[in-house]
Structure 1
């Protein structure tokens, strides 16, 4: 069987390492850019929905959000209808980082897709999306306490 997950993992680790090195000068700790971008793109998102959006556990989300808030990049506000619900918003300081992060993402996409025709790039996207959707079912199952059968 072809092991696409190793290739995906290597690509993912390389992208994370480069982004973390470049975003260090923005005072973003490891991986925080992912949370910041998603909160920017989904103003008022709650932690549970952010966890589902980026496929991370709630504990990791809580730590990352606390650091972003401590650094003044996001704020959490109580929902007007239910004060127990905390909605997240990017601050002005956080919003100023968004264009740089997106430029890095666009550049990395261009580098990754060098030599691909537009149709091949779309096909790669579609295949990766399907793979993520397939894996997401197991992710939900395992996060709910299930044990996969190997």
Structure 2
């Protein structure tokens, strides 16, 4: 049986699942369901983004994005408006309710970042950021090819 070349992706996966579990519990109090906070924050940060670009940004299926957007609309967090020029395209905008909880979400994300980087010096933090970004860039072309983006 072949040994795994590196456990780095397993570690990153475990880290991601821990953060999402903590966040999902915290964000239940503002009526966000599992993983919806990622969609909400990106819409707040990229007002007017379309669903295809949002899917690409988050690296999720278009179907996943559609379901999340519908739930956020029903919960009163976002608006979906037709593009002024291309009437086939829809743009996503945060409502006041979304902008009000955005600060709470970012504060929680910052707490998670602080917890993850406990006992790291600034050089180590910078190095981890650069290396993980490089890993993401390396795999992104494979993801785009598989997802037909």
Which category of TM-score, normalised to the shorter sequence, fits these structures? over 0.9
The root-mean-square deviation of aligned C-alpha atoms, in Å, is 1.0
The answer to whether the aligner puts 1:120 opposite 2:124 as a matched pair is: yes
- Distance in 2 (CA, whole Å) between partners of 1:134 and 1:14 is 24
Gap regions ≥5 residues in structure 2 = none
Q: CA deviation at 1:3?
A: 1.5
SS for the counterpart of 1:29 is coil
SS for the counterpart of 2:93 is strand
Q: CA deviation at 1:2?
A: 1.9
Q: Runs in 1 of length 4+ with deviation above 4 angstroms?
A: none
Match of 1:143 in 2: 147
Q: 2:39 aligns with which of 35, 55, 62?
A: 35
Match of 1:134 in 2: 138
Q: 2:30 aligns with which of 17, 23, 26?
A: 26
Match of 2:69 in 1: 65
- Distance in 1 (CA, whole Å) between partners of 2:142 and 2:69 is 25
**Cα displacement string for residues 21-51 of structure 1 (whole angstroms, at most 9, x for unaligned residues):** 0000100000000000000000000001001
- Distance in 2 (CA, whole Å) between partners of 1:107 and 1:140 is 31
- Distance in 2 (CA, whole Å) between partners of 1:10 and 1:29 is 20
Q: CA deviation at 1:144?
A: 2.3
Q: CA deviation at 1:143?
A: 1.1
TM-score, normalised by the number of residues in structure 1: 0.94
- Distance in 2 (CA, whole Å) between partners of 1:74 and 1:96 is 12
SS for the counterpart of 2:88 is coil
Gap regions ≥5 residues in structure 1 = 146-150
TM-score, normalised by the number of residues in structure 2: 0.95
Q: 1:91 aligns with which of 90, 95, 101?
A: 95
